[in-house]
Structures are given as C-alpha cells and as structure tokens.
A and B are shown apart, each in its own frame.
Chain A
Amino acid sequence: MPRINTTGELETFRQEILSQRDVDKPCITLCSGSACHATGSNKVSTAIEQEIVAQDVTADVSFRRTGCHGFCEQGPIVVIYPQGICYLKVQPDDIAEIISETIKENKVVERLVYVDPNSGEKTTLEEDIPFYKNQERLILGSNLKIDPKNLEDYLAIGGYQALVKSLFEMTPEQIVDEVKEAKLRGRGGAGFPSGVKWDFARKAPGDQKYVVVNCDEGDPGAYMDRSVMEGNPFAVLEGLMIGAYAIGANEGYVYVRQEYPLAVQNLEIAIKKAEEYGFLGENILGSGFNFIVKVHRGAGAFICGEETSLLNSLEGKPGEPNARPPFPAIKGLWGKPTNINNVETWANIPLVINKGAKAFSSIGTDGSKGTKIFSLVGKVNNTGLVEVPMGATLRDIIFKIGGGVPGGKQFKAVQTGGPSGGCLPENLLDTKVDFDELNKAGAMMGSGGMIVMDEDTCLVDIARYFLEFLSDESCGKCTPCREGIRQMLKILTNMTKGLGQKGDVDLLLELAETTKGSSMCALGKTAPNPVLSTLKHFRDEYDAHINHQRCPSLACKELIDFYIEPEKCKGCGACFRKCPADAITGEKKQVHVIDQDKCTKCRGCAEVCPAAFDAVRILSGEPVPTVATEG
C-alpha cells in the first residue's frame, strides 16, 4: 500500500475499502483475545480455515479473528454476521456443523447458543444475551468489528476521522478545550480531568514534549486495558496522536506489561501499519505534524503503573516514584513536559473528538462522563469485560449483566479499585459507578477491576491478601509504605491464623493512618484502603477471628477443621480415595474418620462427598467431636 499523503487520498481509500465489502455477505468472527486463546481459539481458527475450504464456501463467507468480545467465561466465542448469531464455548469439532448449518442453510446450531443459568432459556443473537444487552459498548464495541492486525478494518469503521478533524479543523487549544468540556476523567484510577492535565503539558515551557500510554495494568483482577490494546490498538494510537498534536509533542511511548505478549504484538503491528500508511512519521496526511511512537515493555513491577515510576522505568532505571510536584506535565520523561494517560483514556479521545464534547458528556453522571469498562470477575455467573455508562449501579452490573452469584450462594461483597480500593457490602449495591460516589462509599473506581465475593470468601483474608500483594510490590523507597504495610500484614496474618489479640484493630487503624498520610506515592497512600473498608463494613468478621478464633466464611485454613458426621457417613470410600495425606481411615460401608493431625485441609473430602450424604462438615471456632473408633 502506498503512503496516504492527504485527507483526500484517505477518503478515496476508505471508500474503496467500503465498496469492496458486502455487508450482507456472511462473516464468521472468532474472538482471539487472551482468554479465548487460553480456551483454545487457535485450534478453532485452524478448523474454521480448513472447513471453509473443505465445504467449498471460500467465495461465500469471510472469516475474521477479532479482539476480546468480553464474555470470557464462555470462550471461545464465534459470532456470525450479518445476523449476529452467537455461539459459545466453540470447539474445533463444532465448526463443520456451523458451516453446513448456519452458513449454508441459515439454521441455528441450538446446542451452541447461550443458555441462561437461572431460567434455562436459550438466546441466539448476541445483542439479546443479557450480558451484552445491558451494556453500552462505545469503546469495546469496535473490538468485534475489526481484526486488530488489519488497519483497513479500522478505516472501514471510520478510523482516523478524529485525527483528520483534529489536524485540519481544530487548533491544539480547541482540542484541549473539547476534552475539558467533555469532562473526560482519567480511567487509570485517580480520575483526574484529562483536559486539565493536557492543558498543563501544553502550556509548560519547552520545545521537546512527550506523550505516554500507560498500559502497565497491574491491578490483580483487572484486564480492561489488555483487551482494548489487544483488540483495537489503532484507537489507542489515534487518541495518542491527537493528544500529541494538542500538547505539542512529536514523540510518544507506549509502556506495556511484558506479561501481555499479545498486546505487545498487536500494538507493534498496528504501529508498523500506521507507519506504512503514513499515519505515523513525517508530515502526517500533509498536515505538517510529525509523530513517532515507541514501545517499551515493562519488566514486572506493579509500582510502574504509578506515573513517575513509569517514567523512571522508561528511562531505563528502576521504577521508583519521585515526589510530586513537579508533576510530569512540567518535568516528566528526561526532564521534559510529558502527558501520560491510561489506555482506556486514550481510546476515549477519538470518541470525544468525533462525537463532540456535548454528545460525549450527555452520557454519565454530573461528575463522571462517558462509559467505563470493568472486569467483572470472581464469584459471578457471567464473568468478563463489561462496559456501562457511568452512573449504572453495582447491583445492575453484578446481577443484570453478571447474572448474580453462582451455585445458589449468598452475595457478600464486591471489591472495586484493585489493591487501592475497597470492599462494599450488599447494602451499598445501589451505589452508582461514578468516581465520587464510589469514593464516598469507601471504595474507588480504580482502573476497573470488580471482584465479586460470596459467602465463602473471608474478608479478613482478602485484606491480608491485598496487603501481602502490596508488601511484595512496595518499592521500599519510603519508610511509611515499606514498614507500614509490612506491620499491618503481620497483624492480619496473625488474625487469619487465630493469633489475633485484643487491641489489634486499634493498632491497624493507627498504622493505616500513618501509612496513608505520609507515604510518597499512591501505592502507599491507598494501601490501607482494603483494611479500612473491610473494617468498616465487616467488623464482625474481624471480631470473630480475634475473639473466638473463628472464620465465619470457613476459609482460613488454620481456623477450620474437617469432620465426618458419623450418622451421615455411609462409608462409600470417596473421601478415603481422594485424601492426598492418608488422613482418612475407615472400612467400606463403615463410618470414616479424619485424623486431624494428618489433615492438610485441602478440602478434597468435602468436594467429593456425595451430595446425598453430605457428611463432611467444616468446623470453625469449635472443638472437633471425638469419634469412638474400634478398639
């Protein structure tokens, strides 16, 4: 493809692409995001390619591998257009039937469609599945329409129109004003107004400026940025180019975790294609604007998601934070003014420019505009990525889209905001997803992790889990963070082992206050949040651990015992065979007994005991009854 030199050439080329595409021609799309990769999408892809040839339909159908569709629990996902028929958990063996039935005969393969886990009702079309129906996919939606390795697909859905508008119809000031007026807030966690941040960098003195994409998505339980980067890197790059033009930068960096190999790969391809077509490089589309982008892989450090640490890492140094001010907008990469935004923020920019600030800000609440992507995971039926307008309630997300908690278990809490966030109980489920509302409730928006917990999850253990994570990830540069987290972790670990003491909670609160108030960067400042929010909403669980050495959720290993109820045990031997520690004794058809000294509490016996007998009980805070054995 020759380089596109003017906007006229771009439009001609776009029309040429569109004229070659027949919207009515059947198209098989296969999700090839990381989760679907894990469930075998590569094998399905090979099967589709082979079967298209074998059934001689090469001319009648096209095939596209796309980025993440979002419904990751049900992968690999195949959607057939133009109808939008959605097949879930597709295996290579299913492909022959899909082609012979759906492509050739226009019939639905019933066994592959979505079945509601609660009602048993079947849904054929993607748009009708409750998981999708209740979302508003302004950002993720394009993932389904394009092959992330194909720039022409991006042009076919209107790609680079926002760039053209920015370069030829707007001044840098107007762009910044538009982003300000749209009230777009940073999607990385803190929710700082993006337009204001851009304005700082634009007004900062200096000829050399930089723009940076933060794709160091380290929050455990969150993978929105990964899916956007894997599924539509073009949109992120387009946003970045617009930002660069607005603040006056000619060089950009994308910092992406090396744990995301597919994101790195797709991004590198997207950059290469953009360079070939002339969207990157010198004199872009004849506008006189020059811009290049480089990719920098992160080497595995959570702290690098913090902007000053990330910039240090970009310079080839250890990712340790600097005190702010000076903010990166004034003194960033190599001491130059730098604007750094999260992947999702950048991906929103083309939308803001195309739709205009007014239309963009018509979605959402007063303080939070647009949509937000969440990774809805944990103990919820429909796990995956969901995109909702700001202002949707947690209840709607978890129950309407997520389908509630599986296995008839009781909902206990939802954790938002990653290790900096908090856990909210059932009575706060009507809280709206909005930067300020979530903060008020004691959690935070964060980057978008939303982990659902049921009655089996111990909240003291969750607080311990996050502190263990943070203690490991604290860079150690400042003492309050390094030591504060470590001491809080010690107390919580003791609690989960039944070694909690009276006064522990007060000590936790004191440590939390110091860590929060005097740490250098956001990692330490927000580290106590998981402890504070669980203490606020689940104080009874702490009391049970400290005062009665009891774990109400029966989760803390050191506080539980496994016991076979003699009157229920039928001596089937299932637990005896399962036990890896030879802790269970008993003859066939006789009552089995667990040797508490040998038991490793692996839960194997409880899992295999037939539901009809239900003889294995988990005890906590009470002695194990002694069972009279022979002899």
Chain B
Amino acid sequence: MDIGKIDQIIDNYGGESGSLIQILLDIQSDNNWLPKEALDRVSEKLAVPMSRIQHITTFYKTFSLTPKGRHEIHICMGTACHVRGAQDILATVEEVTGVGPGETDPDLQFSVETVSCLGCCALGPVIVVDGEYHGNVVQAETAEVINKLKLVETAETLEKLKSAESPEVVNLCACQ
C-alpha cells in the first residue's frame, strides 16, 4: 500500500492517537486488509506501540491481517436468519467456494465471512456478495450467485493469459 495514502489518512484525523481505530478502519476499507508496512507507519506516526495496534487489530472483527479475496461473501448469522436456515446457506457457500468462515482461497478469489447481524432481519436469510445484498435466499440461489462470479473469474483469467501471449497459454491450448 502506498505510504503517501496512509499518511494522508492519518493527517485526516490530525495525527491523533485517539483516532487509531478510525485510521485503521479507513486503511482497511481502502486496501481491504492491513499490511505490516501500513501498521508500522501508523505506529510510527501516531507514536503508538505495535503491541497496542496488534491488540486492536485482533480485538475488532472488521480488521484483517491477511489479504482478502477479490470477492467478499458475508453470510448473516443473526437470530432471524438463523431460524430461517442461515446454517444451510453457509454450508452451500462453503461447498461452492471451498473456503470456510474467516478464510480466503489460495487464488485470492473468495473470502468468506460470517456476520452476527446485518440488520436486514426482515429479509433473512441474507448474504452480501461484493457489497450487494441478497435477501430471502435459498441454497440454489446462493450457489448460482457464486458460480456466476466463478465463471466471470475463469473467463477473465483466460483473457489475461491470452492477451499476455505467454508460454503458459501455448501449454494451456496444447492441453486442450
């Protein structure tokens, strides 16, 4: 992550150490996760020890210390969603993406997170895929939404490989 951008975020809060959480939230939302360099910079500029930053970043759920996938899937596990079958929806998401809550696949395609409550309780079960809410979902629809993303991902990867005209493409084509 660009150091200039981090400095700018810190400056937005006047460099106050009391704004530590707000600063980390902004970095997280900008970069999707908190790389070590960013935390080092925050620690240095705010004169806050790394131990406290570690405490904060591991205490609050929003922060991630590992890179996130290109697609983020949040499954609401609130009570209203629970009584309407959120557990089955989570099982479907795990099956289709191959990753469980709090995990990201090695290709950085999907990150799956469970959320305690999204506050859309009237529409339960609810999932949020890349910021888009899907309410009253059933297992089949969940699988469909994620599979669609997968297809797009595969097409994009092929496109990239083709345009790069790298040797891998030749191999790929030869295989087929």
Residues of A within 8 A of B (CB): 34-35, 37-39, 72-73, 217-223, 226, 258-260, 296-302, 313, 315-319, 375, 377-379, 383-385, 415, 418, 449, 451, 453, 457, 462, 465-466, 469, 472-473, 475, 580, 600, 602-604
Contact = CB atoms under 8 A, between A and B. Distances in A.
Contact of A378 (B25, B80, B91): B80
A38 B119 contact: no
Contacts of A462: 79, 82-83
Contacts of B91: 600, 602
A474 B169 CA distance: 51
A315 B18 contact: yes
A377 B80 contact: yes
B59 A451 contact: no
Interface in B114-129: 115-124, 126
A465 B78 CA distance: 9
Contacts of B55: 318
A223 to B, nearest CB: 4
B166 to A, nearest CB: 37
Contacts of A317: 52, 56
A379 B121 contact: no
A316 to B, nearest CB: 4
A451 B62 contact: no
A221 B22 contact: no
A602 B139 contact: yes
Given A39-B123, A258-B25, A319 B80 contact: no
B59 A37 contact: no
Nearest to A384: B122
Contacts of A298: 60
Contact of A37 (B22, B56, B133): B133
Closest 7 CB pairs of A and B: A72-B122, A38-B133, A300-B61, A220-B78, A299-B60, A221-B79, A223-B119
Interface residues of B, number: 42
A472 B133 CA distance: 24
B16 to A, nearest CB: 8
A318 B84 contact: no
B119 A451 contact: no
B86 to A, nearest CB: 10
12 contacts: A72-B123, A220-B80, A258-B25, A296-B21, A299-B62, A301-B60, A316-B56, A377-B122, A418-B79, A469-B77, A475-B59, A604-B139
B120 A35 contact: yes
A220 B123 contact: no
Interface string B62-99: 11000000000000011111111000100100010000
Contacts of B121: 72, 221-223, 375, 377, 383, 449
Given A299-B63, A377-B80, A451-B79, A221 B117 contact: yes
B18 A603 contact: no
B78 A221 contact: yes
B45 interface: no
Nearest to B115: A259
B60 A379 contact: no
